[in-house]
């Protein structure tokens, strides 16, 4: 059995407790890509009434972005943009954005977080919503980037006959992007793991 911290209230934790916890946290962080890939698999066979299942839609979006010469970070954003469908029935873009936030640029994060409203331009009027809801963001520095993401990679990615690279093609990109966090309150602690007894 692995060692465990001994506190019952966080405020009572000690440096020794965190010497136990930090290595575990680091190991958990290293296996994040495995958990993300496993969660993507939950979208396999989940059609939700769409022409293709949700995993195929994600793969097709990422395939279009890859074939268009987008960088790895962007392709990973395309792959994961709808990963939140299973847990975020009312806010799926926020789930994807939360997963991607430590690893992607502010521009890509904004794009993923707002893609649902921008995609709404193509269908909101069919379900009683304002298709121009995205206009509230007109003038934002990432408006055009997000509109382009929808137009080129999200909107056309519902075609059963279109190319969809297998998930295994994207796994190396995902692992590289998630191996190098760009922002997190925990980065310094995780980077310092193993030093000074932590």
Sign of the CA dihedral 36, 78, 42, 184? positive
Mean pLDDT of 99-127: 98
pLDDT of 197 strictly over 50:
no
Token pair for residue 46? 């989940």
The per-residue pLDDT for range 1-35, each reduced to its tens digit, is: 579 999 999 999 999 999 999 999 999 999 999 99
Average pLDDT of every residue of the chain: 94
Mean pLDDT of 185-197: 67
Give CA–CA dist 189/181, Å, rounded.
13
Token pair for residue 27? 């190991």
Better-scored residue on pLDDT, 184 or 126: 126
The SS3 call for residue 53 is: coil
User: Long-range contacts for 185-190 (Cβ within 8 Å, ≥24 apart)?
Assistant: 186/25, 187/102, 189/22, 190/22, 190/25, 190/26, 190/29
Taking each helix axis from N to C end, the angle separating 32-41 and 72-80, rounded to the nearest 10 degrees, works out to 40
Contact 59, 164 (CB under 8 A): yes
The per-residue pLDDT for range 63-80, each reduced to its tens digit, is: 999 999 999 999 999 999
Sign of the CA dihedral 124, 125, 129, 135? positive
Mean pLDDT of 33-46: 97
Give CA–CA dist 86/39, Å, rounded.
9
Residue 193 binned pLDDT confidence (cut-offs 50, 70, 90):
low
Contact 20, 4 (CB under 8 A): yes
Contact 19, 189 (CB under 8 A): no
Among 52, 70, 37, residue whose Cα is nearest residue 178: 37
pLDDT of 192 strictly over 90:
no
The reported pLDDT for the residue numbered 1 is 53
């Amino acid at each position: 059995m692995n060692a465990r911290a001994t506190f019952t209230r966080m405020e009572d934790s000690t440096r020794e407790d965190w010497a136990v916890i930090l290595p575990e946290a680091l190991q958990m962080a290293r296996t994040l890509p495995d958990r993300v890939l496993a969660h993507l698999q939950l979208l396999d066979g989940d059609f939700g009434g769409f022409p293709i299942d949700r995993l195929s839609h994600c793969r097709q979006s990422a395939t279009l972005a890859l074939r268009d010469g987008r960088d790895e970070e962007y392709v990973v954003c395309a792959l994961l943009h709808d990963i939140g469908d299973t847990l975020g029935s009312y806010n799926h873009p926020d789930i994807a954005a939360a997963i991607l936030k430590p690893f992607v640029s502010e521009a890509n994060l904004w794009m993923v977080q707002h893609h649902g409203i921008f995609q709404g331009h193509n269908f909101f009027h069919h379900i009683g919503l304002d298709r121009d809801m995205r206009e509230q963001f007109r003038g934002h520095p990432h408006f055009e980037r997000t509109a382009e993401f929808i137009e080129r990679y999200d909107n056309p990615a519902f075609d059963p006959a279109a190319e969809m690279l297998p998930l295994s093609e994207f796994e190396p990109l995902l692992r590289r992007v998630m191996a190098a966090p760009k922002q997190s309150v925990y980065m310094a602690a995780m980077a310092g793991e193993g030093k000074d007894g932590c």
